[in-house]
A and B are shown apart, each in its own frame.
Chain A
Amino acid sequence: MNNSRWKRFSNKNSFRFVPYMMGCDPDRETSIEIALALQEGGAEAIELGVPYSDPLADGPVIQRASQRCLENDVSLTDVLELAGAMRERGVSVPVIIFTYYNLLLQLGENRFFELAEKNGIDGVLVPDLPFEESAGLKKSCRDRDMAFISLVAPTTREERLKEIAQDADGFLYCISSMGVTGKRAAFAGNVKSFLANAQEQSRVPVLVGFGISSSSQAMQFAGVSDGYIVGSAIVEKIEALLPRFSQEQEREGAIREFKYFINQLVPAQPEKECNHAAENTADDIKAVSAGKTD
């Protein structure tokens, strides 16, 4: 892939932090400030969600964000254009559009890619488009130097994981546990071997996501993955800050608090020590995951 932003992403030798945010939640300007805060806080890429009436892969937090945005009629086009505005204001890490397939289908693939190219999109993630259905879209992405982000789950069988991982672009998204997006206390029992296996097979960095809401949780995966994705925890923080975002005199303080929150999410240690720490914790996870998730 010739995309320079992805090159920088894959050449980084750190435990990458990739946040998810819902585009235009609560509004376009605030989203731009949030994206800049995420980048300043260490984001190596940003997943930009698109509100959808029926988000099958999402838990309550992201569902609520979707509904908030739909009350303002936010469309896929709006979110693509938001990405363009983010670029103009200085966002330089890869931006991945996270959209359900129906939204893309209605906009039309041609129009989608036209807008995606114009607005500096680097990747596309479609949570309800599994490997079997994605060949066409992946090719369209490749033709434009964009990454079609593939997902694998703890339930993905060996052969299939191999097939997906060896054909992945950008990064391989490893789902940490069964279920939809949302904060969790524990992860799938086989998460460590699953991630290790994914790392072995994958030609791109392996990132783990779903349910991670703190840097200590993330660190459990440092030895067996190349980075982590945080979604619901961030969207929930934004939700909590909504009243302050909407008041002129409170905005600055709210952004400051958001930045502080992001700093807490990003582990401070250099990656060598992370690896070491992970040896123990990854085993701990196994023990914990026998218990229930919340």
Chain B
Amino acid sequence: MKTEQLPDNLGRYGRYGGKYVPETVMSALAELEAGFSEAKEDSEFLNLYLKELSSYSGRPTPLTFAEGLTKKGGGAKIFLKREDLNHTGAHKINNAIGQALLAVRMGKKKIIAETGAGQHGVAAATAAARYGLECRVFMGEEDIRRQELNVFRMKLLGAEVVPVYSGSRTLKDATNEAIREWVRTVEDTFYLIGSAVGPHPYPQIVKHFQKIIGEETSSQLKDITDQDPSCIIACVGGGSNAIGMFAPFIDSSIPLVGVEAGGKGTSTGFHAATMEKGTLGVIHGSMTRLLQTENGQIIEPYSVSAGLDYPGVGPEHAYLYESGRVAYESVTDEEALDALQTLCSEEGILCAIESAHAVAYALKAASKYTENEMMVICLSGRGDKDVHTLISRREGGSDE
């Protein structure tokens, strides 16, 4: 089955996906499904979304040839899809704008969102400010402490940041709490989820609003050459930038690689390598692969990058992993940080540590290709938010 036709009517990608949520939100999911399928077919809505992305967020983002990086890699020509140049600094805004406009179209006045590092929280707060929505962002107490700057940004934007004290007080728990809050307020509140995860139709919605990354890339490549790239690479946390980048290429034969956070090494127990180390399970309303104990308790993952620090992965990725269509690799904290430094020195681009995972993989793999071949990296975000982490690393501490 071509993935174009997925998910099926139960929201499944093969055995992954579905709706594993309390009955109370089932009617809201049905309403969302209806609202989304209407909006999707509405050219006025589509035009508004595209107009906002161009006149407000600065799209299309460039496709940059990275000459210095290419030399370092010693093989394929490396191109960067510059999602770091988006308003608010990452691909997250594509989805936040899309879903916020959908919320408005559906007549909702309030949104809630979850955030880990604060990137999605900032994007959601930004869209809420622009479209006049009331916004509350759930954030683990631990992350609030680690990401002071983004917390302040969200507050400036007029959002309320709600600290989450349950569980391990990080993204996983912030997502649980956002879902719990949604169960309470479902009648007038739109849950603006931040990655290609959650119950159906969320993974499909997020992909829909992120696929512009891949579509632009595809047409920008065509402007340069008739030749297909030999490899397209994106980092994978929940999987939104990756699924957006891959979307128009899934039915081609171009090799696609998702890069997960290997943390301190996938044999150490300190990583977020959901594909390599995860097993079939349910998290945040969706059947997917996740890091868990034998008994089914969800394990808190680890990565130097807060945006990849997620124990699950979007269901479509689990499906693409199982079918073998996308290869999923992992790189360690060290490799990612080295790549970040290299990209800085060679190209003058400070990327997010999340995105640096994709760069690190590209640098490792480039020499497998000839200089006549091309690799494209989705550079999902910029690294301003990570400066604090980089400073404490340099001073010899950990990011904790």
Binding site for B on A (CB under 8 A): 52-57, 59-60, 63, 67, 70, 75-77, 100-107, 127-133, 151-157, 160, 175, 178-180
Contact = CB atoms under 8 A, between A and B. Distances in A.
Given A155-B28, A178-B185, A180-B183, A106 B22 contact: no
Contact of B19 (A55, A133, A157): A133
Contacts of B58: none
A128 B21 contact: yes
Contacts of B10: 132-133
B19 A54 contact: no
B26 A130 contact: yes
B167 A179 contact: no
A70 B186 contact: no
13 contacts: A54-B173, A56-B21, A101-B20, A104-B296, A106-B294, A127-B22, A132-B26, A155-B23, A155-B24, A175-B23, A175-B24, A178-B183, A179-B184
A173 to B, nearest CB: 9
Given A102-B292, A133-B19, A178 B24 contact: yes
A153 B30 CA distance: 14
A102 B296 contact: yes
Contact of B180 (A56, A103, A104, A131): A56
Contacts of B185: 178
Contact of A128 (B20, B28, B167, B295): B20
B301 interface: no
Contacts of A106: 279, 281, 292, 294-296
Contacts of A157: 27, 30
Contact of B282 (A76, A105, A132, A175): A105
B272 interface: no
B296 A107 contact: yes
Interface string B274-307: 0000011111110000001011111000000000
Given A63-B166, A157-B27, A180-B184, A57 B22 contact: yes
Interface of B: 10, 18-28, 30, 166-167, 172-173, 176, 179-180, 183-187, 279-285, 292, 294-298
Those 9 A-B pairs whose CB atoms lie nearest each other, nearest first: A106-B296, A179-B184, A153-B24, A53-B297, A103-B296, A155-B27, A102-B282, A75-B295, A57-B22
Given A54-B167, A54-B172, A70-B297, 7 more contacts: A57-B180, A132-B26, A133-B18, A154-B24, A156-B26, A175-B24, A178-B187
Contacts of A152: 23
A236 to B, nearest CB: 16
Contacts of B279: 106
A149 B264 CA distance: 44
Given A102-B281, A178-B186, A52 B23 contact: no
Contacts of A55: 176
B176 A54 contact: yes
Nearest to A155: B27
Nearest to B28: A155
B23 A76 contact: no
Contacts of A101: 20, 282
* Interface-centre pick from A60, A100, A151, A179 (highest chain B CB count, 10 A): A179
Contact of B23 (A103, A104, A156, A179): A156
Contacts of B285: 56, 128
A132 B23 contact: no
B296 A56 contact: no
Nearest to B281: A102
B20 A129 contact: yes
* Interface-centre pick from A56, A105, A127, A157 (highest chain B CB count, 10 A): A56
Nearest to A180: B180
Contacts of A133: 10, 18-20
A129 B18 CA distance: 10
A76 B180 contact: no
Given A102-B281, A102-B296, A155 B186 contact: yes
Contacts of A128: 20-22, 282, 285
A149 to B, nearest CB: 11
B8 to A, nearest CB: 12
A53 B167 contact: yes
A67 B176 CA distance: 15
A75 B297 CA distance: 9
Contacts of B294: 106
A155 B179 CA distance: 16
Nearest to A101: B282
